[in-house]
Chain A
């Protein structure tokens, strides 16, 4: 009874998020002339932010008076968390921006007391000041898997510009990405607009297509979902889409995967009973910042930063 009620609430909440996302921000021309801070300006804010973090000095930043900062879903004061431990920047920086929304994002390699971690940061710029800083830090201690060695260069697809005539609206981009999360929840890759060669990299590790030697073999992203191996992810809620970079065909989703861990195995057609995976041992959630490259109305590449959290821990921005 409780389960059914919760599923209903989750479904309604998810639908609500999508609906809001679709209507809250009408589609605008990608290069909104009115944007006070263009791509270069936004990326400069990101660089300033990264430098200030490594310097352990938030006073170097043009922060709004009531700036809100979260790390791994917890509200902290700027200067705390990664600010206290960052010891250097790595070479990897993947920028994405939505100038019309004053929204800047980055995936970056960072050193923390000499150990590499992956930082995802989202900044909101209003009046040339930073009003919001939302971060996830994938550390070996807080994720089920991580490999920073692979993050040497940004994959070219994330940098390619989409011709203006081929740019879907913000709402269309969000809806396409939303289908990915629906497909995971439903164990159905067929409903997701995957490019046939879609590649997904999570915390630096390619997870689809899989390695031929992995338990599922070299299945495509969509085929993996259809095995229902991911049905330990009971719900993906809440979902937010804070940055849509129309010029490059990128969507940043920040979502929470909820794993109630009510069963540890699943029957996979043709493969028999399989263990569902790392997140099915006990109730937990993962907070995920996931960047999608959409090209020709298909999801071509996915890159994700994933942090394990207490079950249903808030992301701090609901």
Chain B
């Protein structure tokens, strides 16, 4: 079974568990949600080749090309589908952007990449679990349409992941899987009902985030369009300045300042946090989760400097998200996410109902 930390206070106990386990040997390779993890016999290039085979089979609309376990499970945007259905019918070509995240210990690989669907660029977040050289789990998020096409084009231009993501952490500086997950989880905990009063030292000064290929921090390029309130999206500002009385966060701000502003409060609940893939050599954590926007009381809040603000979406909805974190020296630096909008409160297809509703980390 996947591990879940159980207590009324997720964060407190999570940290407690870390302290308790901090000097202990690393836990055995975490099992996937279906249990039964065997020592991995698939190294980095082996895992990546499974991704390549998968993408080839996908655009050929032919899952029979893949080495699959008998009871392989497939989900697309949180829904259990038969392999061959959904994106398997519509994928029309491969893309140039390929970002592999390997967890040789767990026999899992994540892939963020661009693809084509009926001639339109889309983004995919893919997780494969490989057992005895066969694929036993396939989890995908496909981001399409207005929310993804521009960003997919951006990633195509980038051509490859940011170099820092792929750099090895010097062996002497590597930390445990749990330490890496703990740092990533501070991001979700800090954003959930953000009040601007937390300790955000877990952000590196150079932290930068891409969401569906769009740079959503430190970006002074106007996005255009409207905010969730229907008002024109203001031009980005370079620095968070409470004296200007901002009511929405800006993509021009740093990762840390977006949290410091308290203006992410409308993200009411970040739940079903599954940290499925950890690459210790590179200091990368791949988490899945859901960002709920309750759109009720959570629209009304106070900024850290005591100003009442009403902001955020006016109708309930949920982002289904796969988020990739680069962790160095206990801080987050590069962040990259693939997300798609789903019905409010949706579940992933990989967790029980209680886990789906919980904000406690699972790994």
Contacts and interface: CB of A to CB of B under 8 A. Distances in A.
A76 interface: yes
A314 B79 CA distance: 8
B315 A141 contact: yes
A76 B345 contact: yes
A264 B86 contact: no
Interface in B54-78: 63, 76-78
Interface in B257-313: 294-297, 299
A84 B353 contact: no
A293 B81 CA distance: 34
Contacts of A312: 79, 81, 85-86
A193 interface: no
B118 interface: yes
A80 B294 CA distance: 8
A303 B353 CA distance: 33
Contact of B346 (A56, A74, A83, A307): A74
Contacts of B76: 283, 310-311
B151 to A, nearest CB: 16
B89 A262 contact: yes
A309 B343 CA distance: 7
A141 B89 contact: no
A313 to B, nearest CB: 5
B145 interface: yes
Given A6-B82, A260-B89, A310-B77, A117 B315 contact: yes
Contacts of B317: 141-142
A113 B89 contact: no
B242 interface: no
A282 B117 contact: yes
Interface string B141-171: 0101100000000000000000000000000
A115 B314 contact: yes
A82 interface: yes
B343 A72 contact: yes
Nearest to B63: A2
Contacts of A282: 90, 117-118, 122, 142, 144-145
B84 A310 contact: no
B187 interface: no
For chain A, what secondary structure do more than half of its interface residues adopt (helix, strand, loop), or is it mixed?
A: loop
Given A84-B296, A113-B295, A71 B345 contact: yes
Contacts of A307: 343
A115 B86 contact: no
A264 B89 CA distance: 13
B118 A56 contact: no
A285 to B, nearest CB: 9
B87 interface: yes
B58 to A, nearest CB: 13
Contact of A6 (B85, B144, B353): B85
B240 interface: no
B222 interface: no
Interface in B327-361: 342-347, 353
Interface range on chain A: under 10, 10 to 19, 20 to 34, or 35 or more? 35 or more
A119 to B, nearest CB: 12
Contact of A73 (B86, B296, B343): B343
A81 interface: yes
B22 interface: no
A75 interface: yes
Nearest to B346: A74
A55 B346 CA distance: 24
Interface string B110-127: 000000011000100000
B316 interface: yes
Contacts of A85: 294-296, 314-316
Contacts of B122: 282
A142 B341 CA distance: 10
Contacts of A76: 344-345
Nearest to B81: A312
A261 interface: yes
A51 interface: no
Interface in A260-283: 260-262, 264, 281-283
Most buried by B among A75, A83, A117, A310: A310
Most buried by A among B89, B144, B317, B347: B89
Nearest to A5: B82
B314 to A, nearest CB: 4
Interface of A: 2-3, 6, 56, 71-76, 80-85, 112-115, 117, 139, 141-142, 260-262, 264, 281-283, 307, 309-314
Interface of B: 63, 76-79, 81-87, 89-90, 117-118, 122, 142, 144-145, 294-297, 299, 314-317, 342-347, 353
The 5 A-B residue pairs with the shortest CB-CB distance in the complex, in nearest-first order: A84-B296, A2-B84, A113-B314, A72-B343, A74-B345
Given A71-B316, A72-B344, 8 more contacts: A2-B63, A3-B89, A72-B343, A80-B345, A82-B316, A141-B317, A261-B89, A310-B77
21 contacts: A71-B344, A74-B343, A74-B344, A74-B347, A84-B295, A85-B296, A113-B295, A113-B314, A260-B86, A264-B118, A281-B118, A281-B145, A282-B90, A282-B145, A283-B85, A283-B90, A310-B76, A310-B342, A312-B79, A312-B85, A312-B86
